Structure formats: structure tokens, C-alpha cells
Amino acid sequence: MLRYIAQRILAAIPVMGFVALFVFLLLRLSPGDPAAIIAGDAATPEQLEAIRERLGLNEPIYTQFFDWVSRLLQGDFGTSILSGTPVIDMIMGRLEPTVSLALTTIVLAILIAVPLGVIAAWKHGTLIDRLVMAISVLGFSVPVFVIAYVMIQVFAMNLKWLPVQGFKSIFDGVGPFAERIALPTLTLTLLYIALIARITRTSMLEVMGEDYVRTARAKGLREGRVLMRHALRNCAVPIVTVIGIGFALIISGVVVTESVFNLPGIGRLTVDAVLARDYPVIQAVILLASLVYVVINLLIDIAYVLLDPRIRYA
């Protein structure tokens, strides 16, 4: 297992290198000039040239790339072109809202979606099964921003139960934190409930007809124990896979939700950086998202061994 983990970590190095090269070239070769954004519309050509010289934008592309990579290897993600703040400080300052939203979303989605998928498989073909599948289709079909505005209209505008925007740290109190995170969490949870419930139902249906499930029922075991201990346990691998992928997607894809609910997280930081063509910030955020995918995929592979003893890694 340790050898496999070491191999996966080594294999991630060229992947991250390719991502870094792709992102760098994509940003540098796309239209737009950060110097013009910084200087404003009234800037003279001399002022624009001075800004480009100061930022190193006049250097050849390959020189800019190798300078950036060498700083990365030293733990330096660069400095924001617009604010002059170290990029790592900007990311760390925006990390808590995004991580909080991701964790609350995935935990709530698991607590709701897995039981729903199990019940749908158990009651296959009944009204309950069709209702769960209808919820899944609805969750996949409706855009996130539409769900967000419906949540705001119902729970904030009509019922006045929850605030619309903003974020409170959990260190400022669980109550204020829960009030602010509730609406964005519910918005994203509907999407991931649809995903996890559908995979859980499909996986459960595949194992419900297996011999070990029929044997467990023949022994007179309670239906709940048959479903949870024998059926669900043996179809846990695909469920864990989709949960892990879902968590990675949440971390890297909260742009719309954070924008709607005005959460000062990584998503908002990404939007602001893209609009301002702040190269160092964009590059760092994309590399961070790629690293999250690599780490989560590694954790999923390790979980396979714990869930299914038949799986072995050389």
C-alpha cells in the first residue's frame, strides 16, 4: 500500500506540471492586457510600457514560465497584480467560506441521499422509488442559480427565516454561522442529493439479487440489517467514488453559489481575478483545484481497500 501511495504521488507530479503549463499558456495567449486594466483608460503608452516592464510581461513567454515555476517550487505563489498582496495570503483568507460550504454540503447530502437511494432500491418500482427518481431528475435539470434564487425568495424574502447574503465564521458562534451557511448549503445539497441518491439506488439494485443477500434473508435477518450490513456494505465502492468526486467538484465549482450569496470564498476570488486578468491569482487557484482532485482521488483509492478486502494494490 505504501508503495502504491508513493507511486501515485510521483505520478501526480507530471500531471500538475502539465496543468501548470496549460494554465500559464492559456492565460498568456488569450486576449487582454493586465497593464491596461491597472493603468485605466486614460493611461499613456509610456505608462502601459512601464507597468508591463515592472510586471515582467515584456519577457519571453518561456522566461516568464520558468520564473513562475521556480518560485512555485520555493512555495511562492506570486503577488497579486492589482492589490500587491501575496497570493497565498489571499487564498488562505478566502479558504474558510469555501471549505465550510463544501463540508456542510457533502455531509448533509450524504445523510439524506444514501438513505433515499437505499429506500428507492428497496421499494423498486413503487411510488416511493419514482418520487426519489423525480427528485434526482429535478436536481440534475435545474441550474444552481435558479435553485439559489428560489431559496432566497422562499426562505429569506417570504418567510424571513434566514439572511440572504454574507458569511460568519464558525468561531464567531455556531448560530450565526449556521444562519449564513444554510441557504447556500441547501442550494448545493439538492444537486448532490440527486447525484448520490441515483448512484446509491443503482448500486443497491445490482446487489439486491446476489446470493449473499438472499441467504441473509433466508436466515431470517431483519430487512434493515440485510439492506445496511449486506447490501449497502457491498456496494459502497461506487458510492464512495461519487462522494469523493462530488466533494472535489464542490471545492472547485462553488463560483455561482458564492457569487449569488455573496460569500467571500475561493469562487468569488476566482471571478474577481478573471475579470481583472490577475494572472498569479488565477494560476494559483487552478493549481489548488487540481491538487484537490489528485488528493481526493488518492484517498478514494485507499478507501477501496478498507471497504473491499478483495482489492489489493501492489
Q: At what angle do helices 127-141 and 174-208 cross, to 10 degrees?
A: 120
d(CA 85, CA 147): 35
**Residue 64: how many other CB atoms lie within 10 Å:** 17
Non-local CB neighbours of 196 within 8 Å, separated by 6+ positions: 109, 110, 113, 114, 117, 239, 242, 243, 246
End-to-end alpha carbon distance in the chain: 7
Helix (H, G, I), strand (E, B) or coil at 220: coil
Region of poorest pLDDT, from 91-100, 221-230, 238-247, 301-310? 301-310
**Which class does domain 87-307 fall in?**
mainly alpha
**Digit-coded pLDDT (tens) for 247-282:** 777 776 677 888 888 888 888 888 888 887 788 888
- Grid coordinates representing 269 are 476570488
Taking the domains of the chain in order of start, what are their residue ranges? 2-73, 87-307
Question: At residue 92, does pLDDT exceed 80?
Answer: yes
Whether 8 has a pLDDT exceeding 80, the answer reads no
Residue range 215-232: mean pLDDT, rounded: 80
Sign of the torsion angle spanned by Cα atoms 220, 225, 229, 235 = positive
Whether the model clears a pTM of 0.85, i.e. scores above it, the answer is no
Q: Check if the beta carbon of residue 194 is closer than 8 Å to that of residue 137.
A: yes
Amino acid type, 187: T
Average pLDDT over residues 282-286: 86
The 3-state secondary structure of 46-77 reads HHHHHHHHHHCCCCCHHHHHHHHHHHHHCCCC
